[in-house]
């Protein structure tokens, strides 16, 4: 029986291959062999680069500058334009704006504002909204036990934190109970950053008294880490109930005036309501409210034409997953221009390094020809060349991540002080590391594409013939200096630097003309 099993096993090995062969085939199916081979390629590349430090340093620095600049601009673009608010389901937030004639005064000299009573009316439209919040940014005189100093603050409705879905890090947040009668809720909520930097994360901060414009108020809580309000350009140190507006803004007494516009209004749509449905549903309510407003006492005397324009006003609902920001309006276009420019510069850096790799590949023709002669496939040679470029790009990306915060701080310092004083950060987070990694891999693939394609077109017979000719003293053929390949193998550093400088000058001129804050 045992002999029979041995014979059957031998027959199976003849027909299906040995156990080790089957193992290798299974590994190939699950890509583990490919990954293992690629890791081996990276080790070979590392040893090769250690033997040519000047080439390695030149290639790494070229890519590090391109990747670092692109990463830095992307970080600022993400903070100002792309990043959604760190709140619950930000895609359901909408900005509620009054479009048309307004028979009112503007209390804070801004735009997109409504009165507090209209905000309260909108909070009752629960057929369309889960909740509605209103807020107004201001600057207060704050004392936490020492000297008085100016601080950024927000006057908010009691629904502010509940509509956004923000949780407290300590204590409690403002509620509708703090938003009932003017002057009766002397409480504040501190931002996490203010609590950490100015109060040393004091665990007993809840219950402390602070002075707001010399009015005593009680700290009831600290907002969640990472929450900086809904406006990236106005980062508050604390939040105060709107009912305390007379204490927070000396001389202001228009809280209950329907025609004093001073608050931005955002709503959270119900899950079963679309933006179009909310617009259509609010239209008859808003029209009736306008008609009623013209009959209220105190409605200003206006011309019939203005009255018609007033009655033709509408409510505009705009998606606001990133909140609302004046800074975004000012810096969005310049940041997109800078991001496109750094992407172009990164592409030029990849082209430059690809030229270096082509020149390096020409110098190692004998090694590649020998490997082809020994049976290495062209795909295997191309994979090794791609591993070379990816490794260089990853090291360049690592240096670029180190360089990126320096570039961000320099650009933030270049911005107007009121635009970036406490709004933009130069820290590296997980999202930025992932972006830098993806950019590095993409740069590595683009850089190694030309050398890999060249290796795929290499003729083994021609290479061996060249080697024989060289052995007998013949000259080695070179790419014609006027050909595209010849130019790519011999990149001109002066031309490359000139192209960079020209692009940067054009960018500076464009940004200065399109936005005065960059002038």
Last residue within a domain, chosen from 301, 321, 341: 321
Tens of pLDDT, residue by residue over 59-97, are 899 999 999 999 999 998 988 888 889 999 999 999 998
**What pLDDT, on the 0 to 100 scale, is given for residue 67?**
93
Please check whether residue 199 lies inside any domain of the structure: yes
**Is 426 or 271 the better-scoring residue by pLDDT?**
271
For 168, the token pair is: 């407290």
Q: CA 105, CA 115: separation in Å to the nearest integer?
A: 10
305 & 354 share domain = no
Please check whether residue 334 lies inside any domain of the structure: yes
Instruction: Please give the share of the chain, as a percent, with pLDDT higher than 90.
Output: 38
152 & 299 share domain = yes
211 & 316 share domain = yes
143 & 168 share domain = yes
Q: What are the residues whose beta carbons fall under 8 Å from the beta carbon of 186, sequence distance 6 or more?
A: 215, 216, 217, 218, 244, 247
Which of 52-61, 121-130, 265-274, 500-509 is predicted least confidently? Answer: 500-509
353 & 304 share domain = no
226 & 120 share domain = yes
Last residue within a domain, chosen from 321, 345, 373: 321
pLDDT band at 472 (very low <50, low <70, confident <90, very high): very low
310 & 351 share domain = no
Please check whether residue 375 lies inside any domain of the structure: yes
Please check whether residue 393 lies inside any domain of the structure: yes
**What pLDDT, on the 0 to 100 scale, is given for residue 320?**
92
Please check whether residue 474 lies inside any domain of the structure: no
Calculate the average pLDDT of the chain. Answer: 79
**What pLDDT, on the 0 to 100 scale, is given for residue 354?**
86
Q: Return the top range by mean pLDDT from 41-50, 135-144, 379-388, 415-424.
A: 135-144
Q: In 3D, which of 92, 152, 137, 82 has the Cα closest to residue 328?
A: 82
Tens of pLDDT, residue by residue over 312-345, are 888 999 999 988 877 787 888 889 999 999 999 9
Looking up tokens 């290796």 gives 455
Tens of pLDDT, residue by residue over 300-311, are 777 888 888 888
**Is 511 or 91 the better-scoring residue by pLDDT?**
91
Tens of pLDDT, residue by residue over 186-228, are 999 999 999 999 999 999 999 999 999 999 999 999 999 989 9
Contact by Cβ (8 Å): 76, 411 = yes
β-partners of residue 135 are 156, 264
64 & 151 share domain = no
**What pLDDT, on the 0 to 100 scale, is given for residue 396?**
92
- Number of domains the chain is built from: 2
Tens of pLDDT, residue by residue over 357-385, are 887 765 555 666 666 665 556 666 777 77
What's the rounded mean pLDDT across residues 497-502? 48
Q: CA 440, CA 203: separation in Å to the nearest integer?
A: 43
What's the rounded mean pLDDT across residues 127-138? 95
Rg over alpha carbons for the chain, rounded to the nearest Å, is: 33
Contact by Cβ (8 Å): 383, 449 = no
Helix ranges, 300-429 (H): 304-311, 326-363, 365-373, 378-414, 417-420
**What pLDDT, on the 0 to 100 scale, is given for residue 487?**
42
Please check whether residue 266 lies inside any domain of the structure: yes
229 & 333 share domain = no
Q: In 3D, which of 270, 312, 256 has the Cα closest to residue 99?
A: 312
**What pLDDT, on the 0 to 100 scale, is given for residue 498?**
44
**What pLDDT, on the 0 to 100 scale, is given for residue 366?**
60
Range of the domain at 385: 37-81+327-469+480-518
**What pLDDT, on the 0 to 100 scale, is given for residue 502?**
46
Contact by Cβ (8 Å): 246, 252 = yes
> 3-state DSSP call for residue 96?
strand
pLDDT at 177 over 60: yes
Whole-model pTM above 0.75?
A: no
**What pLDDT, on the 0 to 100 scale, is given for residue 191?**
96
Please check whether residue 190 lies inside any domain of the structure: yes
Last residue within a domain, chosen from 295, 321, 347: 321
Please check whether residue 143 lies inside any domain of the structure: yes
> 3-state DSSP call for residue 17?
coil
For 511, the token pair is: 């940004």
pLDDT band at 479 (very low <50, low <70, confident <90, very high): very low
* Helix orientation angle between 32-50 and 19-29, rounded to the nearest 10 degrees: 80
Contact by Cβ (8 Å): 129, 270 = yes
**What pLDDT, on the 0 to 100 scale, is given for residue 243?**
94
Phi, psi (deg, nearest 5) at residue 24: -60, -40
Tens of pLDDT, residue by residue over 379-408, are 667 777 788 888 899 999 999 999 899 888
Q: How far is CA 127 from CA 93, 274, 327, 331, in A?
A: 15, 12, 33, 36
Contact by Cβ (8 Å): 342, 73 = yes
230 & 284 share domain = yes
237 & 331 share domain = no
- Residue 449's CB is within 10 A of a number of other CB atoms, namely 17
**Is 174 or 260 the better-scoring residue by pLDDT?**
174
What's the rounded mean pLDDT across residues 288-296? 87
**What pLDDT, on the 0 to 100 scale, is given for residue 261?**
86
**Is 458 or 430 the better-scoring residue by pLDDT?**
430
**What pLDDT, on the 0 to 100 scale, is given for residue 367?**
61
300 & 388 share domain = no
Q: CA 383, CA 379: separation in Å to the nearest integer?
A: 6
What's the rounded mean pLDDT across residues 470-481? 44
- The DSSP code for 377 is -
Tens of pLDDT, residue by residue over 236-274, are 999 999 999 999 999 898 888 888 889 999 999 999 999
**Is 353 or 102 the better-scoring residue by pLDDT?**
353
State the Cα angle at 202 between 201 and 205, rounded to 5°: 120
């Amino acid at each position: 029986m045992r002999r029979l099993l041995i014979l059957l096993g031998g027959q199976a090995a003849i027909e299906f291959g040995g156990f080790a062969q089957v193992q290798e085939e299974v590994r190939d199916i699950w890509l583990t062999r490919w990954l293992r081979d690629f890791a081996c390629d990276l080790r070979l590349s590392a040893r090769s680069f250690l033997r040519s430090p000047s080439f390695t340093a030149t290639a790494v620095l070229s890519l590090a500058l391109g990747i670092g600049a692109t990463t830095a601009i992307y970080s600022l673009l993400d903070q100002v334009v792309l990043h959604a608010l760190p709140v619950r389901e930000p895609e359901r937030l909408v900005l509620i704006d009054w479009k048309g004639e307004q028979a009112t005064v503007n209390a804070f000299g801004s735009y997109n504002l409504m009165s507090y009573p209209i905000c309260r009316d909108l909070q009752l439209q629960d057929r369309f909204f889960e909740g509605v919040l209103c807020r107004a940014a201001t600057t207060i005189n704050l004392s936490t036990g020492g000297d008085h100093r100016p601080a950024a603050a927000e006057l908010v409705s009691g629904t502010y934190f509940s509509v956004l879905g923000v949780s407290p890090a300590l204590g409690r947040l403002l509620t509708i109970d703090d938003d009932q009668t003017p002057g009766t809720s002397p409480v504040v909520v501190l931002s996490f950053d203010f609590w950490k930097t100015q109060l040393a994360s004091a665990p007993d901060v809840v219950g402390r008294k602070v002075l707001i414009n010399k009015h005593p108020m009680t700290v009831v809580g600290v907002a969640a880490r990472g929450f900086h309000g809904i406006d990236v350009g106005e980062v508050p140190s604390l939040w105060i109930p709107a009912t305390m507006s007379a204490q927070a803004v000396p001389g202001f007494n228009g809280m209950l005036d329907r025609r004093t516009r001073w608050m931005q209004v955002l709503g959270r749509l119900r899950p079963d309501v679309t933006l179009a449905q909310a617009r259509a549903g609010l239209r008859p309510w808003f029209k009736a409210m306008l008609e009623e407003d013209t009959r209220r006492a105190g409605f200003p005397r206006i011309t019939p034409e203005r009255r018609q324009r007033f009655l033709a006003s509408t409510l505009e609902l705009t998606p606001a997953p990133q909140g609302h920001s004046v800074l975004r309006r000012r810096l969005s276009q310049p940041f997109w221009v800078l991001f496109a420019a750094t992407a172009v510069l990164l592409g030029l850096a990849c082209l430059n390094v690809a030229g270096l790799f082509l020149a390096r590949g020409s110098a190692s023709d004998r090694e590649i020809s020998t490997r082809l002669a020994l049976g290495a496939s062209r795909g295997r040679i191309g994979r090794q060349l791609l591993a070379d470029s990816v490794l260089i790009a990853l090291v360049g990306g690592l240096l670029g991540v180190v360089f990126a915060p320096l570039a961000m701080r320099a650009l933030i310092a270049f911005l107007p002080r009121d635009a970036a004083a406490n709004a933009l950060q130069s820290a590296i987070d997980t999202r930025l590391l992932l972006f830098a990694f993806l950019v590095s891999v993409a740069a590595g693939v683009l850089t190694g594409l030309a050398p890999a394609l060249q290796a795929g077109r290499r003729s083994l017979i021609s290479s061996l013939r060249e080697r024989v000719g060289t052995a007998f003293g013949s000259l080695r053929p070179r790419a014609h200096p006027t050909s595209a390949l010849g130019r790519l193998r011999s990149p001109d550093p002066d031309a490359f630097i000139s192209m960079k400088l020209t692009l940067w000058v054009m960018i500076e001129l464009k940004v200065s003309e399109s936005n005065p804050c960059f002038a």
